[in-house]
Amino acid sequence: MQKGIFYLGTNLPAEEFSNAKVVDIYPCRWAIDLLWKFLNMYPKLNNGVTLQIYMILIAYIILQLMEIPKFYGDRLLNKLRYLQ
């Protein structure tokens, strides 16, 4: 791969994310784009199935953003158990 200069625009806070960290997490953006492309390419899915996929994605994002006491752990399943 040829090395070059890349300019990435982001709204991430510069105090928390160095250039190297932004470069490391940038490929995750493409994974998200591929997921949305997949969901849009197969509209033959039943609307109920599509709705369930969206609900699971939203719940996953909420659990990722949620902070709970360290006592319960950091895994998603621990966060879900904390909510229950």
As for how many domains the chain has, the answer is: 1
Q: Tell me: the pLDDT tens digits for 50-79?
A: 788 888 888 888 888 888 788 888 788 888
The whole-number pLDDT of residue 81 equals 84
Maximal CA-CA distance, the chain: 50
Residue 70, domain extent: 19-83
User: What does the DSSP assignment read for 56-84?
Assistant: HHHHHHHHHH----GGG-SSHHHHHHHH-
Query: What's the pTM?
Result: 0.48
Predicted confidence band of residue 29 (pLDDT cuts 50, 70, 90): confident
Mean pLDDT of 18-27: 83
Closest Cα partner for 68 from 50, 60, 80, 57?
80
User: Rounded to an integer, what distance in angstroms lies between the CA atom of residue 34 and that of residue 38?
Assistant: 6
- Is 57 contained in some domain? yes
- Is 32 contained in some domain? yes
Cβ within 8 Å of residue 22, ≥6 positions away? 8, 10, 12
- Is 1 contained in some domain? no
- Is 6 contained in some domain? no
Predicted confidence band of residue 10 (pLDDT cuts 50, 70, 90): confident
